[in-house]
Amino acid sequence: MREAEEREIFQNAVDRRLSGLQENPFLAQRIMNAEKGEIKPMKKKLTLSMVLVIVLLLIAVAALAVALLSPKEIVEQVAVPVAQNNDQENYTYEELADLIRTLNENGITLDEGSKIVQAFQAGHGYWEGDTIKEICRAAFGEDSWTPEQSYWYGEMMVAVGAWEHNAYILPKEDELQEEQARILAAQILNNTYRVNLPSESNESWTVTAALGFLCDEDSETGIPSWFINFIPNSDDDELQGYTVTFDLHGENAQPDHLVVINKKPDEATVEKYNEIQANFEKEKQVVSEYGEVTHFWPDEVKVEVYGGLYGLPYAIPEPEEYAVALEDAKRFITEKYGADALEKLGDYKVGYLFQKLDDEEDIETKATQLMWDIMFTTDPEFLSDGYRVQFQRVIDHETGEENIVDVIVEHANLGSG
Amino acid sequence: MSNVKGPDKAQNPDFEELVAQYQGSVLRMCFLYLCDKTLAEDAVQETFVKVYRGLNSFHGQSSIKTWIMKIAIHTCYDMNHSGWFRHFDRRITPEMLPEAAVPFEERDEELITAVMRLPIKLREVILLFYYQGFSIQEIMDSLGVSQSTVTGRLKRGRDKLRGLLERRDSDA
């Protein structure tokens, strides 16, 4: 009944508002004549948009002779300045449209399936950090960026305020460069394990080098280090891989055997893999039905997928539990983003994930833990706005005392940064 | 519509009837899909050329309307994926809608622009379900997707149009 009414409303609205679209009274006759060869087939008309596109393409082709902007130049000269000049963390729809147009004019096409293009087509803006990441993917590939590309990307993320610090590093002139690091790594491992590893990849070995921060309890950010891996190019399980880490001056080397993925898995591994694969397929099915943002799935589906398939303690909250958590989450948002943050968001929707741990045998604290992950957004499909609040309410079994711990309040966009 | 005649006949009165009966509906659906009046007119023309050429092979497996709309939606899909279309500025504003020939309400326009702003995969399901009155099964057959995909997209599309599909006094 409701569907019939909705259909009627929809059809009436379309037929009224689009009543000005002119039908062609001669269409049938023209098609029949054209098909019989009595008249030439109709040519497609050029719209004003098409004419503009042709002009733009001609201009673009002419400009090509001068110079096309590279993706790096577009990020540096367009994307970053626009981001720095607005006082928000996402591009508006208009800014995103200009950016995508600039990319197209310079021969760079973003993946049609990307969330940014989908958000744009749906009339939304998008987060600056993710937009820049998408441009970099279009330019450098999905992964395996060079250290220079990664470092430059990190600098851009810092420039637009998406990151506080560059997560990537490059060696300074007086520090070990990649080639030197490979040679030193082979020397260290050959001496340690009495083997004969090459410094460059060959038929027998694949040598990879990466820069990163080595975790260290005494250092807040970690120690800038080279990570060099030597992976055997063989299916022989007996062959051993090696790895070594040292700082950018070649000090504090930590050689080790490399855990290589078993190329001939045993039966138990295959069984486990198949189980994971089946769970993955089930989850894919649910995603196609309810969307990618799990917070907005029906409660029963969340419990079935994450509780049933993965054994996580997902639960359906009591109404009172939810009401209290909702107020807590709103309070955290206003504390961080201002009293009118949610009001400014407008007509938002709330989705959540809820886990409950109260089995005394499973937890050390002898307490009930209510784990909340609550999303506030007007755009549950693309998360182009809004906030996400995660926290735990811990209720002590002996004293009854309640504490909120591990509070994280951030923008709703899960992939940002 | 068992008496539909195809292009092998000397006269094709029924083809003319089909065009007269469905042209308006196809045109409006193509406009909502492609968000461009001239492209929509091209899509209508291409749709009916395909209909004319395919009439002999139509054996009534579905209703003639379902068959025509399926051709139309596939034609729009192809145009949407053509090189030309990618260059269009597809920002949707009420100003880009053609002038209406009959009185309309503000909320009609809100609904139209909201539909045109939907991601294409949601939009095509919404158009087939609400505008063409297709069943879930017919949409599955037309788009070649599973039931859960159709119902999922329908739900998400409906959520996005929430409030705009409610009955108003003037609809009664």
Query: Which amino acid is it at A349?
Result: K
A281 Cβ under 8 Å from any chain B Cβ: no
A75 and A148 within one domain? yes
Cβ of B105 within 8 Å of Cβ of A97? The answer is no
A149 and A77 within one domain? yes
Q: ipTM exceeding 0.90? A: no
> Is A46 part of any domain?
no
d(CA A406, CA A409): 10
d(CA B44, CA B31): 9
Nearest beta carbon to residue B108 from set A17, A20, A47: A17
**Which residues does B148 contact at the CB level (< 8 Å), separation at least 6?**
A285, A288, A289
The candidate with the shortest Cα–Cα distance to B55, out of B10, B14, B25, is: B14
To test the contact with chain B by mutation, choose from A1, A22, A27 the residue with the greatest count of B C-beta atoms within 10 A, namely A27
A282 and A251 within one domain? no
> Is A348 part of any domain?
yes
To test the contact with chain B by mutation, choose from A18, A23, A51, A57 the residue with the greatest count of B C-beta atoms within 10 A, namely A18
Complete domains list, chain B, with CATH: 13-165 (1.20.140.160)
Residue-range definition of the domain harbouring residue A338 = 319-411
Cβ of B99 within 8 Å of Cβ of A118? The answer is no
How confident is the model over A350-377, as pLDDT tens digits? 999 988 887 554 555 577 888 899 999 9
How confident is the model over B22-71, as pLDDT tens digits? 999 999 999 999 888 888 888 999 899 888 888 877 777 778 888 899 89
A341 and A294 within one domain? no
d(CA B167, CA B164): 8
Taking contacts as CB-CB distances below 8 angstroms, the residues of chain B near A11 are 130-131, 133
Q: Which helix (H) or strand (E) holds A224?
A: strand A223-232
> Is A417 part of any domain?
no
Check residue B87 and give its pLDDT: 40
Check residue B83 and give its pLDDT: 46
> Is A140 part of any domain?
yes
A253 and A272 within one domain? no
Taking contacts as CB-CB distances below 8 angstroms, the residues of chain A near B38 are 45, 47, 50
Q: Which residue numbers in chain B have pLDDT < 50?
A: 1-13, 83-89, 170-172
Q: Are A311 and A400 in contact (CB under 8 A)?
A: no
A248 and A188 within one domain? yes
A214 phi and psi angles, rounded to 5 deg: -85, 125
Note if the pTM is more than 0.80. Answer: no
A282 and A349 within one domain? no
Tell me the mean pLDDT in the region A220-231: 80
Q: Name the domain boundary from A127, A159, A191.
A: A159
A-B Cβ pairs (cutoff 8 Å, strict): 161
- Please give the tally of structural domains in chain A: 5
A324 and A297 within one domain? no
Cβ of A19 within 8 Å of Cβ of B102? The answer is yes
How confident is the model over A254-299, as pLDDT tens digits? 888 876 544 555 666 667 667 767 777 777 788 888 887 888 988 8
